[in-house]
Amino acid sequence: MSRILLFNKPYGVICQFSRDGMHPTLADYIAVPEVYPAGRLDTDSEGLLLLTDDGKLQHRITDPRHKLPKTYLVQAEGVPDEAALLKLRQGVQLKDGMTLPAEVRLISEPVDLWPRTPPVRFRKEIPTSWLELTIREGRNRQVRRMTAAVGFPTLRLIRWRIGDWSLEGLPPGKWRSLPTA
């Protein structure tokens, strides 16, 4: 029977078990043998990371051909107008090519969101906004590059959902195991 772990990766943690001497790693939070991350989440991003001991499942989660939706909560610098949201919905030209269309909407600041350590830099003159953004590919730093390309850089990025798996009710630095078939 295979295992799936849902982990709420805190800011500053690297997505590997081996130590690099500079950052906390998965080994600082998860003492479960033979599970490996299904995908990556940048050190400066937070949120849902799936780990499994099932190589086929790991492949299905990470392979772009399966186009598994990944939903992010994005704190952006500025307030995107409808034209910027439309660009994200149609796909954005990046240096490595056009992205697939994203699902995106402006949302209120999530009420149950944990504080980030260190906090996002506050600037009184520049407002921020929150987006819920879903993509179906996983290029390097894709969400950050997409929001920057439409003029609203990402300040805080939290992966909230991968497919049917969600971060709901899982505090930062904690994990839970799911039953699998």
- The DSSP symbol for 167 reads -
Q: Are 155 and 128 in the same domain?
A: yes
d(CA 94, CA 97): 5
Q: Are 115 and 146 in the same domain?
A: yes
Q: Which domain holds residue 57?
A: 4-63+164-178
Evaluate if residue 11 carries a pLDDT over 90: yes
Q: Are 55 and 79 in the same domain?
A: no
CATH for 77: 3.30.70.1560
Burial of 21 (0-12, 13-18, 19+ CB in 10 A): exposed
Q: Are 101 and 170 in the same domain?
A: no
Q: Are 83 and 19 in the same domain?
A: no
Q: Are 149 and 170 in the same domain?
A: no
Q: Are 113 and 58 in the same domain?
A: no
Q: Are 21 and 85 in the same domain?
A: no
Q: Give yes or no for a contact between 154 and 124, defined as CB atoms under 8 angstroms apart.
A: no
- Predicted local confidence at residue 59, as pLDDT: 86
Evaluate if residue 166 carries a pLDDT over 80: yes
Evaluate if residue 181 carries a pLDDT over 80: no
Evaluate if residue 25 carries a pLDDT over 90: yes
- Predicted local confidence at residue 66, as pLDDT: 77
CATH for 30: 3.30.70.580
Indicate if 42 belongs to the active site: yes
Q: Are 81 and 55 in the same domain?
A: no
Evaluate if residue 29 carries a pLDDT over 90: yes
Q: Are 138 and 114 in the same domain?
A: yes
Q: Give yes or no for a contact between 66 and 27, defined as CB atoms under 8 angstroms apart.
A: no
- Predicted local confidence at residue 57, as pLDDT: 85
Q: Are 170 and 148 in the same domain?
A: no
Q: Are 77 and 59 in the same domain?
A: no
What pTM, to 2 d.p., does this model score? 0.94
Evaluate if residue 6 carries a pLDDT over 70: yes
- Predicted local confidence at residue 87, as pLDDT: 98
The model's pLDDT over 38-71, given as tens digits with 9 standing for 90+, comes to 988 999 999 999 999 988 888 888 887 777 899 9
- Predicted local confidence at residue 127, as pLDDT: 92
Evaluate if residue 78 carries a pLDDT over 80: yes
Which residues, at least 6 apart from 118, have a Cβ–Cβ distance to it below 8 Å?
Answer: 11
Q: How many domains does one find in the chain?
A: 2
- Predicted local confidence at residue 63, as pLDDT: 81
d(CA 52, CA 30): 12
Which residue in the list 28, 42, 53, 54 is annotated as catalytic?
42
Name the 3-class secondary structure at 90. Answer: helix
The model's pLDDT over 82-141, given as tens digits with 9 standing for 90+, comes to 999 999 999 999 999 999 999 999 999 998 899 998 888 887 888 999 999 999 988 889
